[in-house]
C-alpha cells in the first residue's frame, strides 16, 4: 500500500514537472502590445508572465519588470458581462464579475474587490478622475493596499466601458521603490490605451 501511494505521488510529481516545463515567460517588447481588442504602448521591454500566474482568466495579460511579487501590470481584453479579472479559487469564494452599465463607483469597486481577491488587504482608492480611452470616457484612480505580511502596496488603475465591455489597466507594486520606479512608464501606458 505504501509503495503504491509513493508510486502515485512520484507519477503525479513527474506529470506536474513536465507540464510546468511547457509554461514560459515571454518578452513584451517596447511598442504596441495587443490584448484582444485593447492595445497599449510599452515604453520599454516587459516580461509577459501571464502563463505562470494562477487565478488569471484568458482575457487578462500580466506583465512585470522585476517579477510579479515586485510589480504587476494587468491589461484586459474587453470583459463581457459575467466575466472577471481574477478566477475564483473555490466556489465558496467567488470573485467580482463585471456587469454592463455599472456606475463609476461600482467600476472602482470591481477593481478594488479584484485586487482584494488577489489576497491584498485593506484596499483603498484615492484621486478618482476622468480619463480618455481612445474616444471613450473612462476613469483613473490610485490604490493603496497591504500584503498579508504588512508590506505597503501602491497602484494606478484605469477603466473604461466600450461597446458593452470593460477594459482595465492596473499597475500594482510595493510602495517603497518599485511603484515610483516604473510610474513614469505606467503613466505613459495608461495614456496610450486604445480599443478597437
In terms of residue numbers, what domain contains 54?
Answer: 24-195
CATH number at residue 61: 3.40.1000.10
Q: Is 62 among the domain residues?
A: yes
Q: Tell me the per-residue pLDDT of 27-68, one tens digit each, with 9 for 90 and over.
A: 999 999 999 999 999 999 999 999 988 767 999 999 999 999
Q: Is 5 among the domain residues?
A: no
Q: Is 151 among the domain residues?
A: yes
Q: Is 8 among the domain residues?
A: no
Instruction: Quote the CA–CA distance of 15 and 21 in Å, as a whole number.
Output: 10
Q: Is 3 among the domain residues?
A: no
Q: Is 15 among the domain residues?
A: no
Bigger pLDDT: 36 vs 196:
36
Q: How many CA atoms lie within 13 A of 52 on its CB side?
A: 16
- Give how many domains the chain has, as a whole number: 1
Residue-averaged pLDDT of the chain: 88
Instruction: Quote the CA–CA distance of 107 and 31 in Å, as a whole number.
Output: 28
Q: Is 95 among the domain residues?
A: yes
Q: Is 159 among the domain residues?
A: yes
In 57-191, at which residue ranges do the beta strands (DSSP E only) sit? 60-64, 72-76, 121-133, 136-146, 152-162, 165-174
Q: Are 74 and 62 in contact (CB under 8 A)?
A: yes
Grid cell digits, residue 51: 502563463
Is a pLDDT exceeding 90 seen at residue 13? no
Q: Tell me the per-residue pLDDT of 106-155, one tens digit each, with 9 for 90 and over.
A: 999 999 999 999 999 999 999 999 999 988 999 999 999 999 999 999 99
pTM over 0.75: yes
pLDDT on residue 12:
43
Instruction: Quote the CA–CA distance of 193 and 86 in Å, as a whole number.
Output: 21
In angstroms, what CA-CA distances link 164 with 29, 50, 80, 97? 30, 25, 7, 14
In angstroms, what CA-CA distances link 52 with 32, 155, 169, 182? 22, 22, 19, 22
Amino acid at each position: 500500500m505504501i509503495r503504491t501511494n509513493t508510486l502515485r505521488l512520484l507519477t503525479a510529481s513527474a506529470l506536474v514537472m513536465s507540464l510546468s516545463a511547457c509554461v514560459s515567460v515571454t518578452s513584451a517588447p517596447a511598442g504596441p502590445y495587443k490584448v484582444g481588442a485593447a492595445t497599449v504602448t510599452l515604453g520599454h521591454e516587459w516580461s509577459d508572465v501571464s502563463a505562470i500566474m494562477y487565478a488569471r482568466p484568458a482575457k487578462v495579460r500580466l506583465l512585470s519588470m522585476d517579477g510579479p511579487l515586485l510589480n504587476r501590470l494587468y491589461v484586459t481584453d474587453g470583459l463581457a458581462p459575467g466575466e472577471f479579472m481574477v478566477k475564483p479559487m473555490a466556489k465558496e469564494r467567488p470573485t467580482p464579475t463585471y456587469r454592463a452599465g455599472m456606475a463609476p463607483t461600482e467600476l472602482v469597486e470591481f477593481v478594488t474587490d479584484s485586487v482584494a481577491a488577489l489576497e491584498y488587504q485593506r484596499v483603498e482608492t484615492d484621486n478618482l478622475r476622468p480619463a480618455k480611452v481612445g474616444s471613450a470616457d473612462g476613469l483613473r484612480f490610485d490604490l493603496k493596499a497591504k500584503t498579508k505580511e504588512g508590506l505597503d502596496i501602491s497602484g494606478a488603475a484605469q477603466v473604461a466601458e466600450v461597446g458593452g465591455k470593460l477594459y482595465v489597466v492596473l499597475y500594482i507594486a510595493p510602495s517603497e521603490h518599485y511603484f515610483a520606479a516604473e510610474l513614469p512608464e505606467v503613466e505613459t501606458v495608461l495614456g496610450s490605451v486604445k480599443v478597437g
